Structure 1
Protein backbone atom coordinates (compact mmCIF):
# COMPACT_ATOMS: atom_id res chain seq x y z
CA UNK A 1 0.00 0.00 0.00
CA UNK A 2 1.47 3.33 -1.08
CA UNK A 3 1.22 5.90 1.71
CA UNK A 4 4.01 8.33 0.83
CA UNK A 5 5.17 10.01 -2.38
CA UNK A 6 8.80 10.93 -3.05
CA UNK A 7 9.20 13.50 -5.80
CA UNK A 8 12.28 14.22 -7.83
CA UNK A 9 12.54 17.98 -8.34
CA UNK A 10 14.23 18.93 -11.62
CA UNK A 11 12.13 17.92 -14.60
CA UNK A 12 9.42 16.47 -12.35
CA UNK A 13 8.19 19.31 -10.13
CA UNK A 14 9.94 22.20 -11.84
CA UNK A 15 10.49 22.75 -15.55
CA UNK A 16 14.23 23.19 -15.20
CA UNK A 17 15.89 20.64 -17.46
CA UNK A 18 15.59 22.57 -20.77
CA UNK A 19 16.84 25.71 -18.97
CA UNK A 20 19.77 23.84 -17.42
CA UNK A 21 20.66 22.28 -20.79
CA UNK A 22 20.65 25.74 -22.38
CA UNK A 23 23.01 27.05 -19.67
CA UNK A 24 25.39 24.12 -20.20
CA UNK A 25 25.36 24.69 -23.96
CA UNK A 26 26.02 28.43 -23.59
CA UNK A 27 28.88 27.82 -21.12
CA UNK A 28 30.44 25.13 -23.30
CA UNK A 29 30.21 27.30 -26.41
CA UNK A 30 31.66 30.33 -24.61
CA UNK A 31 34.68 28.32 -23.45
CA UNK A 32 34.98 26.26 -26.66
CA UNK A 33 34.58 23.09 -24.59
CA UNK A 34 33.80 19.86 -26.51
CA UNK A 35 30.67 19.04 -24.52
CA UNK A 36 28.03 17.47 -26.74
CA UNK A 37 24.25 17.66 -26.40
CA UNK A 38 24.27 13.91 -25.74
CA UNK A 39 26.66 14.41 -22.84
CA UNK A 40 24.50 17.21 -21.45
CA UNK A 41 21.47 14.91 -21.57
CA UNK A 42 23.44 12.30 -19.64
CA UNK A 43 23.81 14.80 -16.77
CA UNK A 44 20.07 14.64 -16.05
CA UNK A 45 19.36 13.18 -12.62
CA UNK A 46 23.03 12.94 -11.63
CA UNK A 47 24.60 14.79 -8.67
CA UNK A 48 27.04 17.58 -9.46
CA UNK A 49 30.09 15.59 -8.26
CA UNK A 50 29.38 12.87 -10.82
CA UNK A 51 28.82 15.49 -13.53
CA UNK A 52 32.10 17.21 -12.70
CA UNK A 53 33.98 13.90 -12.85
CA UNK A 54 32.45 13.23 -16.27
CA UNK A 55 33.47 16.67 -17.52
CA UNK A 56 36.98 16.38 -16.12
CA UNK A 57 37.44 12.99 -17.78
CA UNK A 58 36.20 14.42 -21.09
CA UNK A 59 38.28 17.61 -20.92
CA UNK A 60 41.31 16.13 -19.19
CA UNK A 61 41.38 18.75 -16.44
CA UNK A 62 39.50 19.26 -13.17
CA UNK A 63 40.57 22.91 -13.24
CA UNK A 64 38.89 23.49 -16.61
CA UNK A 65 35.85 21.55 -15.41
CA UNK A 66 35.62 23.93 -12.44
CA UNK A 67 35.80 26.93 -14.79
CA UNK A 68 33.09 25.51 -17.02
CA UNK A 69 30.87 24.75 -14.03
CA UNK A 70 31.27 28.27 -12.63
CA UNK A 71 30.24 29.74 -15.98
CA UNK A 72 27.28 27.33 -16.15
CA UNK A 73 26.14 28.22 -12.62
CA UNK A 74 26.13 31.94 -13.40
CA UNK A 75 24.17 31.46 -16.61
CA UNK A 76 21.73 29.01 -15.00
CA UNK A 77 20.99 31.37 -12.10
CA UNK A 78 20.15 34.18 -14.51
CA UNK A 79 17.96 31.96 -16.70
CA UNK A 80 16.15 30.41 -13.70
CA UNK A 81 15.42 33.83 -12.17
CA UNK A 82 13.78 34.90 -15.41
CA UNK A 83 12.10 31.74 -16.69
CA UNK A 84 11.74 28.95 -14.10
CA UNK A 85 8.19 27.59 -13.73
CA UNK A 86 6.42 24.55 -12.32
CA UNK A 87 5.84 21.58 -14.56
CA UNK A 88 2.30 21.27 -15.95
CA UNK A 89 -0.39 20.20 -13.46
CA UNK A 90 1.94 20.33 -10.44
CA UNK A 91 0.17 23.29 -8.83
CA UNK A 92 -3.17 21.49 -9.10
CA UNK A 93 -1.96 18.00 -8.21
CA UNK A 94 -0.06 18.66 -4.97
CA UNK A 95 -3.10 19.92 -3.02
CA UNK A 96 -5.20 17.06 -4.40
CA UNK A 97 -2.62 14.49 -3.27
CA UNK A 98 -2.40 16.09 0.16
CA UNK A 99 -6.19 16.15 0.46
CA UNK A 100 -6.23 12.44 -0.42
CA UNK A 101 -4.04 11.77 2.61
CA UNK A 102 -0.66 11.08 1.02
CA UNK A 103 2.51 12.21 2.78
CA UNK A 104 4.97 13.90 0.43
CA UNK A 105 8.70 14.51 0.29
CA UNK A 106 11.38 15.54 -2.21
CA UNK A 107 14.47 13.51 -3.14
CA UNK A 108 16.64 15.46 -5.58
CA UNK A 109 20.21 15.42 -6.85
CA UNK A 110 20.33 19.20 -6.42
CA UNK A 111 21.98 20.71 -3.36
CA UNK A 112 19.84 21.66 -0.36
CA UNK A 113 20.16 25.43 -0.70
CA UNK A 114 19.16 25.28 -4.37
CA UNK A 115 16.27 22.96 -3.58
CA UNK A 116 14.93 25.23 -0.83
CA UNK A 117 15.28 28.30 -3.02
CA UNK A 118 13.47 26.79 -6.02
CA UNK A 119 10.60 25.19 -4.09
CA UNK A 120 10.03 28.27 -1.95
CA UNK A 121 10.22 30.64 -4.90
CA UNK A 122 7.62 28.61 -6.78
CA UNK A 123 5.33 28.35 -3.75
CA UNK A 124 5.29 24.58 -3.13
CA UNK A 125 7.80 24.04 -0.31
CA UNK A 126 5.16 23.64 2.41
CA UNK A 127 3.66 20.54 0.79
CA UNK A 128 6.70 18.44 1.67
CA UNK A 129 7.48 16.84 5.03
CA UNK A 130 11.15 16.33 4.24
CA UNK A 131 13.81 17.14 1.67
CA UNK A 132 16.63 14.75 0.80
CA UNK A 133 19.28 16.32 -1.42
CA UNK A 134 22.27 15.25 -3.44
CA UNK A 135 24.79 16.70 -1.01
CA UNK A 136 23.52 14.36 1.74
CA UNK A 137 24.40 11.01 0.15
CA UNK A 138 27.69 9.47 -0.89
CA UNK A 139 26.40 7.91 -4.09
CA UNK A 140 23.97 9.85 -6.27
CA UNK A 141 21.35 8.58 -8.70
CA UNK A 142 21.23 5.97 -10.27
CA UNK A 143 22.41 4.55 -6.93
CA UNK A 144 19.45 3.89 -4.58
CA UNK A 145 21.05 5.84 -1.69
CA UNK A 146 18.96 8.99 -1.94
CA UNK A 147 15.63 7.17 -2.06
CA UNK A 148 16.58 4.81 0.75
CA UNK A 149 17.43 7.83 2.91
CA UNK A 150 14.20 9.58 1.91
CA UNK A 151 12.19 6.48 2.90
CA UNK A 152 13.99 6.34 6.24
CA UNK A 153 13.15 9.98 6.91
CA UNK A 154 9.50 9.29 6.15
CA UNK A 155 9.66 6.27 8.49
CA UNK A 156 8.21 4.10 5.73
CA UNK A 157 9.28 0.99 3.88
CA UNK A 158 10.34 1.51 0.24
CA UNK A 159 7.35 -0.51 -1.00
CA UNK A 160 5.07 2.11 0.61
CA UNK A 161 6.85 5.07 -1.01
CA UNK A 162 6.01 5.94 -4.61
CA UNK A 163 8.90 7.54 -6.49
CA UNK A 164 7.97 10.16 -9.11
CA UNK A 165 10.72 10.63 -11.69
CA UNK A 166 11.38 12.00 -15.15
CA UNK A 167 14.87 10.69 -15.92
CA UNK A 168 16.63 7.42 -16.69
CA UNK A 169 18.98 7.82 -13.73
CA UNK A 170 16.09 8.65 -11.41
CA UNK A 171 13.98 5.68 -12.47
CA UNK A 172 16.93 3.35 -11.94
CA UNK A 173 17.56 4.86 -8.52
CA UNK A 174 13.97 4.47 -7.33
CA UNK A 175 13.68 0.94 -8.66
CA UNK A 176 16.97 -0.11 -7.05
CA UNK A 177 15.66 1.22 -3.73
CA UNK A 178 12.65 -1.09 -3.98
CA UNK A 179 10.09 1.68 -4.49
CA UNK A 180 7.23 1.64 -7.00
CA UNK A 181 8.28 4.14 -9.68
CA UNK A 182 5.92 6.35 -11.64
CA UNK A 183 7.70 8.02 -14.53
CA UNK A 184 6.52 11.30 -16.06
CA UNK A 185 8.97 11.71 -18.95
CA UNK A 186 10.53 15.10 -19.59
CA UNK A 187 13.47 15.25 -22.02
CA UNK A 188 13.77 11.49 -22.51
CA UNK A 189 11.08 8.99 -23.40
CA UNK A 190 11.50 5.54 -21.83
CA UNK A 191 12.44 2.53 -23.91
CA UNK A 192 11.03 -0.93 -23.21
CA UNK A 193 13.76 -1.75 -20.69
CA UNK A 194 13.15 1.43 -18.68
CA UNK A 195 9.37 0.93 -18.79
CA UNK A 196 9.90 -2.49 -17.24
CA UNK A 197 11.34 -0.75 -14.16
CA UNK A 198 8.28 1.47 -13.77
CA UNK A 199 4.96 0.74 -12.12
CA UNK A 200 3.42 3.19 -14.59
CA UNK A 201 4.43 5.83 -17.13
CA UNK A 202 2.18 8.90 -17.10
CA UNK A 203 1.73 11.81 -19.52
CA UNK A 204 1.63 14.46 -16.78
CA UNK A 205 1.16 14.99 -13.05
CA UNK A 206 -2.64 15.19 -13.31
CA UNK A 207 -2.77 11.40 -13.80
CA UNK A 208 -0.73 10.55 -10.70
CA UNK A 209 -3.46 10.40 -8.05
CA UNK A 210 -5.59 7.98 -10.07
CA UNK A 211 -2.54 5.88 -10.94
CA UNK A 212 -1.59 5.49 -7.27
CA UNK A 213 -5.20 4.69 -6.32
CA UNK A 214 -5.24 1.95 -8.97
CA UNK A 215 -2.03 0.53 -7.58
CA UNK A 216 -3.46 0.55 -4.06
CA UNK A 217 -6.78 -1.01 -5.06
Structure 2
Protein backbone atom coordinates (compact mmCIF):
# COMPACT_ATOMS: atom_id res chain seq x y z
CA UNK A 1 0.00 0.00 0.00
CA UNK A 2 2.65 2.53 1.07
CA UNK A 3 4.37 3.84 -2.03
CA UNK A 4 2.26 1.65 -4.31
CA UNK A 5 -1.30 2.89 -3.77
CA UNK A 6 -0.62 6.05 -1.79
CA UNK A 7 2.34 8.42 -1.77
CA UNK A 8 2.88 7.89 1.94
CA UNK A 9 6.65 7.67 1.86
CA UNK A 10 6.96 11.40 1.15
CA UNK A 11 4.96 11.90 4.33
CA UNK A 12 6.52 9.21 6.50
CA UNK A 13 10.18 9.95 5.78
CA UNK A 14 10.01 13.55 7.10
CA UNK A 15 8.15 12.22 10.16
CA UNK A 16 10.82 9.58 10.78
CA UNK A 17 13.54 12.20 10.44
CA UNK A 18 11.83 14.85 12.57
CA UNK A 19 11.35 12.46 15.49
CA UNK A 20 14.78 10.96 14.85
CA UNK A 21 16.43 14.34 15.38
CA UNK A 22 14.62 14.62 18.69
CA UNK A 23 16.13 11.28 19.71
CA UNK A 24 19.58 12.17 18.40
CA UNK A 25 19.72 9.90 15.36
CA UNK A 26 20.21 10.70 11.69
CA UNK A 27 18.67 8.26 9.22
CA UNK A 28 20.26 7.99 5.78
CA UNK A 29 18.24 7.31 2.63
CA UNK A 30 19.73 3.82 2.47
CA UNK A 31 18.26 3.04 5.89
CA UNK A 32 14.74 3.65 4.58
CA UNK A 33 15.43 1.37 1.62
CA UNK A 34 16.08 -1.34 4.20
CA UNK A 35 12.97 -0.91 6.34
CA UNK A 36 10.25 0.01 3.85
CA UNK A 37 7.88 -2.87 3.27
CA UNK A 38 8.49 -4.35 6.74
CA UNK A 39 6.09 -4.46 9.67
CA UNK A 40 6.73 -2.62 12.92
CA UNK A 41 8.17 -5.63 14.76
CA UNK A 42 10.82 -6.15 12.07
CA UNK A 43 11.57 -2.42 11.87
CA UNK A 44 12.09 -2.36 15.63
CA UNK A 45 14.55 -5.23 15.34
CA UNK A 46 16.56 -3.33 12.72
CA UNK A 47 16.47 -0.10 14.75
CA UNK A 48 17.87 -1.86 17.81
CA UNK A 49 20.58 -3.50 15.71
CA UNK A 50 21.49 -0.15 14.15
CA UNK A 51 21.15 2.29 17.05
CA UNK A 52 21.77 0.01 20.02
CA UNK A 53 19.73 -2.34 22.18
CA UNK A 54 18.90 0.48 24.61
CA UNK A 55 17.37 2.74 21.96
CA UNK A 56 13.82 3.67 23.16
CA UNK A 57 12.16 2.48 19.98
CA UNK A 58 8.62 2.10 21.32
CA UNK A 59 8.44 5.71 22.51
CA UNK A 60 10.13 6.88 19.31
CA UNK A 61 7.66 4.94 17.16
CA UNK A 62 4.63 6.17 19.11
CA UNK A 63 5.63 9.79 18.47
CA UNK A 64 6.33 9.17 14.81
CA UNK A 65 3.04 7.30 14.37
CA UNK A 66 1.07 10.10 16.07
CA UNK A 67 2.65 12.72 13.81
CA UNK A 68 1.92 10.69 10.69
CA UNK A 69 -1.64 9.76 11.64
CA UNK A 70 -2.44 13.41 12.37
CA UNK A 71 -1.53 14.22 8.77
CA UNK A 72 -3.59 11.30 7.46
CA UNK A 73 -6.63 12.27 9.54
CA UNK A 74 -6.42 15.83 8.27
CA UNK A 75 -5.94 15.20 4.57
CA UNK A 76 -5.24 11.53 3.87
CA UNK A 77 -2.39 10.76 1.47
CA UNK A 78 -2.14 11.44 -2.27
CA UNK A 79 -3.14 8.48 -4.43
CA UNK A 80 -0.42 7.18 -6.71
CA UNK A 81 -0.94 7.79 -10.46
CA UNK A 82 -3.24 5.23 -12.04
CA UNK A 83 -4.67 3.82 -8.81
CA UNK A 84 -8.28 4.64 -9.64
CA UNK A 85 -7.97 3.35 -13.21
CA UNK A 86 -6.41 0.12 -11.99
CA UNK A 87 -9.12 -0.49 -9.40
CA UNK A 88 -11.91 0.37 -11.82
CA UNK A 89 -10.49 -2.11 -14.32
CA UNK A 90 -10.30 -4.84 -11.69
CA UNK A 91 -13.91 -4.25 -10.65
CA UNK A 92 -15.09 -4.24 -14.26
CA UNK A 93 -13.31 -7.52 -15.00
CA UNK A 94 -14.28 -9.28 -11.78
CA UNK A 95 -10.74 -9.41 -10.41
CA UNK A 96 -10.78 -9.54 -6.63
CA UNK A 97 -8.39 -7.14 -4.92
CA UNK A 98 -6.85 -7.38 -1.47
CA UNK A 99 -4.44 -5.22 0.48
CA UNK A 100 -1.37 -6.97 1.90
CA UNK A 101 0.38 -4.15 3.71
CA UNK A 102 3.09 -4.11 6.35
CA UNK A 103 1.36 -1.08 7.87
CA UNK A 104 -1.02 -1.39 10.80
CA UNK A 105 -4.63 -2.17 9.91
CA UNK A 106 -5.71 1.12 11.51
CA UNK A 107 -3.56 3.02 9.02
CA UNK A 108 -4.66 0.96 6.02
CA UNK A 109 -8.35 1.45 6.76
CA UNK A 110 -7.90 5.15 7.46
CA UNK A 111 -6.22 5.81 4.12
CA UNK A 112 -8.73 3.73 2.18
CA UNK A 113 -11.59 5.54 3.92
CA UNK A 114 -10.15 9.00 3.26
CA UNK A 115 -9.72 8.09 -0.41
CA UNK A 116 -13.18 6.50 -0.70
CA UNK A 117 -11.71 3.19 -1.88
CA UNK A 118 -12.79 0.73 0.82
CA UNK A 119 -15.38 -0.99 -1.36
CA UNK A 120 -12.79 -2.03 -3.94
CA UNK A 121 -11.12 -4.52 -1.59
CA UNK A 122 -12.50 -7.83 -0.41
CA UNK A 123 -9.77 -8.44 2.16
CA UNK A 124 -7.18 -6.51 4.16
CA UNK A 125 -4.14 -8.28 5.58
CA UNK A 126 -2.04 -6.01 7.76
CA UNK A 127 1.53 -6.41 8.86
CA UNK A 128 0.74 -6.08 12.55
CA UNK A 129 -1.18 -9.37 12.33
CA UNK A 130 1.78 -11.33 10.93
CA UNK A 131 4.49 -13.05 12.95
CA UNK A 132 6.94 -12.78 10.05
CA UNK A 133 7.29 -9.58 8.03
CA UNK A 134 8.12 -9.15 4.39
CA UNK A 135 10.49 -10.31 2.89
CA UNK A 136 8.99 -13.51 4.33
CA UNK A 137 6.09 -14.74 2.15
CA UNK A 138 3.61 -15.10 5.02
CA UNK A 139 1.44 -12.05 4.36
CA UNK A 140 0.84 -12.92 0.69
CA UNK A 141 0.16 -16.56 1.48
CA UNK A 142 -2.34 -15.46 4.14
CA UNK A 143 -4.21 -13.44 1.51
CA UNK A 144 -4.27 -16.43 -0.84
CA UNK A 145 -5.75 -18.59 1.91
CA UNK A 146 -8.34 -15.94 2.75
CA UNK A 147 -9.41 -15.69 -0.89
CA UNK A 148 -9.20 -19.42 -1.52
CA UNK A 149 -6.79 -19.22 -4.45
CA UNK A 150 -3.49 -20.88 -5.25
CA UNK A 151 -0.44 -18.58 -5.10
CA UNK A 152 0.42 -19.13 -8.76
CA UNK A 153 -3.02 -17.76 -9.70
CA UNK A 154 -2.54 -14.55 -7.72
CA UNK A 155 -0.74 -11.39 -8.77
CA UNK A 156 1.24 -9.08 -6.50
CA UNK A 157 1.82 -5.41 -7.24
CA UNK A 158 4.79 -4.05 -5.30
CA UNK A 159 7.07 -1.03 -5.07
CA UNK A 160 9.57 -2.27 -2.46
CA UNK A 161 12.37 -4.78 -2.61
CA UNK A 162 11.12 -6.50 0.52
CA UNK A 163 7.72 -6.93 -1.12
CA UNK A 164 9.20 -8.36 -4.31
CA UNK A 165 11.26 -10.80 -2.26
CA UNK A 166 8.14 -11.86 -0.37
CA UNK A 167 6.22 -12.43 -3.61
CA UNK A 168 9.05 -14.51 -5.04
CA UNK A 169 9.27 -16.57 -1.85
CA UNK A 170 5.51 -17.18 -2.06
CA UNK A 171 5.85 -18.21 -5.74
CA UNK A 172 3.40 -15.49 -6.76
CA UNK A 173 4.06 -13.55 -9.98
CA UNK A 174 4.66 -9.87 -9.29
CA UNK A 175 4.65 -6.54 -11.06
CA UNK A 176 7.12 -3.95 -9.85
CA UNK A 177 5.89 -0.35 -9.83
CA UNK A 178 8.95 1.73 -8.83
CA UNK A 179 8.59 4.56 -6.32
CA UNK A 180 11.00 6.20 -3.87
CA UNK A 181 12.51 2.99 -2.52
CA UNK A 182 15.65 1.88 -4.33
CA UNK A 183 15.52 -1.79 -5.33
CA UNK A 184 18.59 -3.84 -6.17
CA UNK A 185 18.64 -4.97 -9.82
CA UNK A 186 18.74 -8.65 -8.84
CA UNK A 187 15.59 -8.20 -6.75
CA UNK A 188 13.82 -6.16 -9.43
CA UNK A 189 14.59 -8.97 -11.88
CA UNK A 190 12.38 -11.33 -9.85
CA UNK A 191 9.31 -9.37 -10.98
CA UNK A 192 7.34 -10.75 -13.90
CA UNK A 193 7.07 -7.25 -15.34
CA UNK A 194 7.81 -3.61 -14.50
CA UNK A 195 5.19 -0.87 -14.88
CA UNK A 196 6.07 2.77 -14.40
CA UNK A 197 2.63 3.56 -12.94
CA UNK A 198 -0.45 1.60 -11.92
CA UNK A 199 -2.18 2.90 -15.04
CA UNK A 200 0.11 0.62 -17.05
CA UNK A 201 -1.15 -2.52 -15.30
CA UNK A 202 -4.59 -3.04 -16.95
CA UNK A 203 -3.26 -3.00 -20.54
CA UNK A 204 -0.59 -5.47 -19.50
CA UNK A 205 -2.91 -8.06 -17.99
CA UNK A 206 -6.07 -7.61 -20.03
CA UNK A 207 -5.14 -10.48 -22.34
CA UNK A 208 -4.04 -12.76 -19.51
CA UNK A 209 -7.24 -14.32 -18.13
CA UNK A 210 -5.70 -16.31 -15.30
CA UNK A 211 -6.38 -13.65 -12.66
CA UNK A 212 -9.94 -13.07 -13.85
CA UNK A 213 -10.58 -16.81 -13.72
CA UNK A 214 -9.28 -16.95 -10.15
CA UNK A 215 -12.18 -14.74 -9.09
CA UNK A 216 -14.73 -17.39 -10.07
User: What TM-score does the superposition give when structure 1 sets the normalisation length?
Assistant: 0.89
Aligned partner of 2:62 among 48, 66, 70: 70
CA distance 1:62–1:150, change in 2 (3 Å): farther
Mapped pair 1:125 → 2:118: yes
Alignment partner, residue 172 of structure 1:
165
Alignment partner, residue 83 of structure 2:
90
Alignment partner, residue 139 of structure 1:
132
Aligned partner of 1:54 among 41, 46, 63: 46
Equivalent pair of 1:34/1:59 in contact (CA under 8 Å): no
Aligned partner of 1:156 among 140, 149, 158: 149
Equivalent pair of 2:38/2:162 in contact (CA under 8 Å): yes
Mapped pair 1:79 → 2:85: no
Q: Could you report, residue by residue, the CA deviation over 1:107-149 in whole angstroms, capped at 9, with x for unpaired residues?
A: 1111112211111111111101111111222101000000000
CA distance 1:36–1:195, change in 2 (3 Å): closer
Alignment partners' CA distance in 1, 2:185 and 2:24: 36
Mapped pair 1:109 → 2:98: no
Q: Larger deviation: 56-65 or 199-208?
A: 56-65
Ranges in structure 1 where 5+ consecutive residues have no aligned partner: 1-8
Alignment partner, residue 16 of structure 1:
8
Query: How far 1:180 moved relative to its partner?
Result: 0.6
Ranges in structure 2 where 5+ consecutive residues have no aligned partner: 211-216
Query: How far 1:215 moved relative to its partner?
Result: 4.4
Instruction: Give the paired residue count.
Output: 209
Equivalent pair of 1:21/1:41 in contact (CA under 8 Å): no
Secondary structure in structure 2 of the residue aligned to 1:103: coil
User: What TM-score does the superposition give when structure 2 sets the normalisation length?
Assistant: 0.90
Alignment partners' CA distance in 2, 1:15 and 1:34: 22
Query: How far 1:62 moved relative to its partner?
Result: 4.9
Alignment partners' CA distance in 1, 2:34 and 2:133: 14
Q: Larger deviation: 152-161 or 188-197?
A: 188-197
